[in-house]
Amino acid sequence: MSNEKRKMLVVDDIEVNRVILRQLFADEYEVIEAATGRQALDRLAQYGDQIAIMLLDLVMPDMDGFQVLESMNASGDIKRIPVIIITGDVSDERTLGGYALGASDLVSKPFNPEIITRRVNNVADLYDHKKYLEQKLREQKRELAEQDKRLKQTNMFLIDALSTTVEFRDVESGEHVKRIRNLTKIFLEMINDKYHLPKEEIDAIANASVLHDIGKIAIPDSVLLKPGRLTDEEFKIMKTHTVRGCEILNSLHYVPDQEYFGYCYEICRHHHERWDGKGYPDGLKGDEIPIWAQATSLADVYDALTSDRVYKKAYSHEQAVEMILNGECGTFNPLLMERFKEIKDDLPTLIALTDMDDRNKTAEL
């Protein structure tokens, strides 16, 4: 532990008073002096939080003690540096005025050396302990934030691993789930002037979106991996992946975050619904479809068009955009389409930037 003395600022326009206080506290404190209120503010600016306590006279010519306290309130110094007023006028008005401006204590002149020593040390020790506790609290908050960050990253890793396992069965690369997450985030952000979702909520929804096709694990290989066009009966089976996914989610007995579970469930069930009600499994239309499911739906369609699949080669970005805007992939929220059209030329860049951010977060794990 450092043996360096704590600093005390003594503010008084009468030199003899400063001398008395300096001699009284010299063994315990490094005493810094100021003869005027303006000098006191200069010392505060110079030493800042190094000052453990201030002894302040009220009656001074150029700037009185109340004005010093007002300035300390404006700068925030009064919250960090305790002030003990030393004055010959201990009227109720002055006493209450000092306390109202944040003074910690008030000592009347002439003062008893032993009493003022104890009161000053008590106040200084109290503030030191307060600063210690505040520092510990900040450290604990940082540690909790780091733990929360690591937990979220671990959860993301596990969700990605599960989702990628499903996608590999569908002969997809692990990059598919990452693209869905990043596209969902982009599409939510581009319409967020209407929905006003907090950043943390958008991140949670984007993470939940990677589970959109978890129900495909229950689809037979003969249907899931068929390279050609599905028959009507096979397509009926394929469509059940939405409800089968919800059955899987409902089978989980431990759900620590109901809101996040809700995002997962609604995205899983409704990412194939369409704005005109011609989607599945429930035939929802318009804003009956949760906006997070709508954003995931557009992300899924765009990624499906621009990726190689067992039944087709990838379309170019330009072709995919044209097909979506022309309604060849079903109808979408008009606002989504309006904003999608606005960002279509910048979308590849946005995808690359979001992917880079995603990779950086994963690298921190």
Condensed to tens digits (0 to 9), the pLDDT of residues 213-272 reads 989 989 998 998 888 889 999 999 999 999 999 999 888 776 667 898 999 999 999 999
Confidence band (pLDDT; 50, 70, 90) for 157? low
CA–CA separation, 179 vs 126, rounded Å?
54
Beta bridge partners of 107: 86
Q: Which domains, from first to last, does the chain contain?
A: 6-111 (3.40.50.2300), 139-363 (1.10.3210.10)
In tens, the pLDDT along 171-197 reads: 555 577 788 999 999 999 999 999 999
Amino acid identity, position 285: K
Confidence (pLDDT) at 316: 95
- Angle (nearest 5°) at CA 91 between 88 and 94: 85
Tell me which residues are annotated as active site.
216
Confidence band (pLDDT; 50, 70, 90) for 20? very high
**If you average pLDDT over residues 303-315, what whole number do you get?**
84
How large a percentage of the chain has pLDDT more than 90?
Answer: 62
Q: Is the pLDDT of residue 60 over 60?
A: yes
Confidence band (pLDDT; 50, 70, 90) for 153? low
HEC readout, the chain: CCCCCEEEEEECCCHHHHHHHHHHHCCCEEEEEECCHHHHHHHHHHHHHHEEEEEEECCCCCCCHHHHHHHHHHHCHHHHCCEEEEECCCCHHHHHHHHHCCCCEEEECCCCHHHHHHHHHHHHHHHHHHHHHHHHHHHHHHHHHHHHHHHHHHHHHHHHHHHHHHHHHCCCCCHHHHHHHHHHHHHHHHCHHHHCCCHHHHHHHHHHHCCCCHHHHHCCHHHHCCCCCCCHHHHHHHHCHHHHHHHHHHCCCCCCCHHHHHHHHHHHHHCCCCCCCCCCCCCCCHHHCCHHHHHHHHHHHHHHHCCCECCECCCCHHHHHHHHHCCECECCCHHHHHHHHHHCCCHHHHHHHHHHHHHHHHHCC
Confidence (pLDDT) at 357: 72
Average pLDDT value over all residues in the chain: 88
Q: Is the pLDDT of residue 155 over 80?
A: no
Confidence (pLDDT) at 238: 95
CA–CA separation, 144 vs 27, rounded Å?
41
345: how many CB neighbours lie within 10 A of its CB?
A: 11
Q: Is the pLDDT of residue 354 over 90?
A: no
Tokens coding 70: 């007002």
**If you average pLDDT over residues 135-149, what whole number do you get?**
87
Confidence (pLDDT) at 88: 83
Kindly list the strands in the beta sheet with 105-108, ordered across the sheet, starting from the edge strand earlier in the chain: 29-34, 6-11, 51-57, 83-87, 105-108
In tens, the pLDDT along 73-129 reads: 999 999 999 999 998 877 888 889 999 999 999 988 888 888 899 999 999 999 888
Q: Is the pLDDT of residue 26 over 90?
A: yes
Length of the chain equals: 365
pTM: predicted TM-score of the whole model, two decimal places: 0.61
